[in-house]
Chains A and B, each alone.
Chain A
Amino acid sequence: MNLTDYKDVYVFAEQREGKLQNVALELLGKARELADANQEKVVAMLLGKDIKGLAPTLIEHGADRVMVVDHDLLKDYMTEPYTEAITAIIESEKPSIMLIGATTIGRDLGPRVSARNRTGLTADATKLEISDDEAHEFRMTRPAFGGNLMATILCKNHRPQMSTVRPGVMQKMAADKGRKGEVVDFKVNFDEKKIARVKLVKTVKEEKTVADISEAKILVSGGRGVGTKDGFGKLQALAAELGGEVSSSRAMVDAGVMDASRQVGQTGKTVRPALYMACGISGAIQHLAGMEESELIIAINKDKFAPIFQVADLGIVGDLHKIVPMLTERLKTMQK
């Protein structure tokens, strides 16, 4: 393998039912940065059926070139035809770097492609950079051991250097309607016999009702300061707006306001959501033990000495009964 034959940063532009996934645009933003560091191009790989119309959006968000593989076999994501298409692009174009969103699709496609092309794949990277020394190494950093440890991975002698990337971590570029780029149709010879080994029967979408608060990504949690079931209604409205769940401290469970299955803390559940909004929770040690590992903690409490502020990323001393409904309204107007 002659490493100098490989160049440019390739992004798998994941779409579902003709709708580009956010992560695709996030990856383009990062790819732009990486490509610029090496004076290379950003190439988006757009696979599907009748999806060419998505190409301009990809260019607006940083792609210099969009390779479109349009085929009936690519209508819904299936492991084998997608692997064959990406492999054909690798063989023909020789990418240096390839980024794929760490979604259920990307985490299925990535390893299959890496094994077929006998190259390395870093999983769920949260940081990607080109080293600023002479080597210009591509460094991929990811959490391991349940997030306790970060590891920086290299793929020195194999190409492409592949990584799946966590959704929501990278920043997408603001859309630039004036950006220019080329759109290329790419033809793939599929191995239909191999593809026929797996058949899609149906895809079912469901609203996930996350009764298990330990699985929820966003929790709006209430304590004594919430008071009554009416108070929790306000929290529920905010949670719905944020796409999260409500949880509570022990005080509210004992008071019969909340179900025990939603209790956070030592005698309840340990949670680690992306956002934990503690409303009217003072933050007894038993409660903190169950939530202090949350990625972002915002606390609203009347008592400025409440211990919850010690662990909060953002603390608001104030009346949740005023702030929470106002915040909900604000988010609603932003949606529109």
Chain B
Amino acid sequence: MNIVVCIKQVPDTTEVKINPQTGTLIREGVPSIMNPDDKGGLEFALQLKDKYGAHVTVITMGLPQAEAILREALAMGVDRAILLTDRKLGGADTLATSSAIAGALRTMDVDLIVTGRQAIDGDTAQVGPQIAEHLDLPQVSYMEDLLYNEATKTFTIRKQLEDGYQVLEMQAPCVVTALASAVQPRYMSVSGIVDAFDKEVEVWGADRINVPDEEIGKAGSPTSVFKSFPKQLKPAGQTFEVSPEEAVELIVNKLKEKHII
């Protein structure tokens, strides 16, 4: 079984701060990490490797420094790492990003493609399903668990819903998008870290993926950012010293106003 896990390097948004004057992100000093849902997906892939001897590849699209998360993935136990990096790929929205990654995946022999449900910097949850669409593969998103049936080459997937879950069966080759909360990713092992720097990280440019220029990068992006600004800080609230009856009214009205009830 060949598995490719798509991972992304993201700023740790719990540590992101906004410059209140300019409304821009202060990226300085913010650590870059492997996107948590992607790491969850990687753990699922590594579990399939442990169980069935699957060959696991990770691929990321990004700037050259994204190599760090590929080394991390190698230290966790993956077999192959690919960095897709090219100026032509810059400025891409989700559609152009998924086109480029799908282009890279098209050159490989894959049974299962794993992505995270969404990245913490964008929270769009779009790239996984869009990759599946470009490759004309079936996909299940919000994966909490999966089992592989070797005889039928199918995956049995548990998909999270707001109020429960579904169990679905999907034929390989296919795409799943994984939830970080569903699994505890393994730590890099010490020997994995020692070896990670002896292995090769393949660097691919846009010429390797055979996707028309008008479908990648800024040119291939239907959406554009008109403006960005910091979230408005909420004004200080009011405090009332009233009878319990009036207090209940005030609270109920507030809950209604905010659509809580």
Residue numbers of A with Cβ under 8 A of B are 79-80, 83, 103-104, 107-108, 110-112, 114-116, 118-124, 137, 139, 143-158, 168-169, 194, 197-206, 208, 218, 242, 274-275, 295-300, 304, 309-310, 312-319, 322-323, 326-327, 330-331, 334
Contacts and interface: CB of A to CB of B under 8 A. Distances in A.
Interface stretch (B183-191, B199-207, B231-239): B231-239
Contacts of B164: 203-206
Interface in B142-184: 142, 156, 159-171, 174
Interface of B: 11, 13-14, 16-18, 23, 25, 93-95, 98, 120-130, 132-134, 138-142, 156, 159-171, 174, 221-231, 234, 236-245, 247-248, 250-252, 254-255, 258-261
A120 B221 contact: yes
Contacts of B134: 115
A152 B250 contact: no
B254 A313 contact: yes
A315 B239 contact: yes
Contacts of A317: 239-242
Given A123-B124, A198-B138, A323-B247, A203 B239 contact: no
A148 B160 CA distance: 26
Contact of A168 (B18, B159, B259): B259
A313 B79 CA distance: 52
- The winner among B121, B168, B222 for most chain A CB atoms within 10 A is B222
23 contacts: A79-B138, A108-B141, A115-B98, A118-B222, A123-B122, A145-B25, A154-B223, A197-B138, A200-B168, A242-B260, A274-B260, A296-B258, A299-B239, A313-B234, A314-B251, A315-B238, A316-B239, A316-B247, A317-B242, A318-B242, A326-B244, A326-B248, A330-B252
A190 to B, nearest CB: 14
Contact of A200 (B121, B126, B127, B166): B166
A107 B125 CA distance: 7
- 8 nearest A-B pairs in the assembled complex, by CB-CB distance: A315-B239, A120-B222, A146-B13, A120-B223, A115-B133, A123-B124, A111-B126, A158-B222
Contacts of A319: 244
A157 B95 CA distance: 14
B240 A116 contact: no
Nearest to A277: B251
A218 B251 CA distance: 14
Contacts of A313: 234, 237, 254
B247 A309 contact: no
Which secondary structure characterizes the binding site on chain B?
A: mixed
Contacts of B236: 310
Contacts of B168: 198-201
A208 B162 CA distance: 9
Contact of A334 (B167, B170, B223, B261): B261
Given A104-B161, A145-B121, A309 B140 contact: no
A123 B225 CA distance: 13
A116 B133 CA distance: 6
B221 to A, nearest CB: 7
B225 A153 contact: yes
A112 B139 contact: yes
Contacts of A150: 228-231
A263 B120 CA distance: 25
Nearest to B124: A123
Contacts of A124: 123-124
Nearest to B163: A205
B21 to A, nearest CB: 14
A121 to B, nearest CB: 6
B223 A155 contact: yes
Given A123-B125, A318-B243, 8 more contacts: A104-B161, A114-B126, A150-B229, A198-B174, A200-B166, A314-B238, A322-B244, A330-B252
Contact of B126 (A123, A205, A208, A299): A123
Contacts of B260: 218, 242, 274-275, 296
B228 A151 contact: yes
Contacts of A198: 138, 140, 168-171, 174
A298 B25 contact: no
B226 A153 contact: yes
Contacts of B251: 298, 314, 316, 323, 327
A145 B119 CA distance: 9
A208 B94 CA distance: 32
Nearest to A309: B239
A144 B122 contact: yes
Contacts of B166: 200-204
Contacts of A199: 168-170
A199 to B, nearest CB: 5
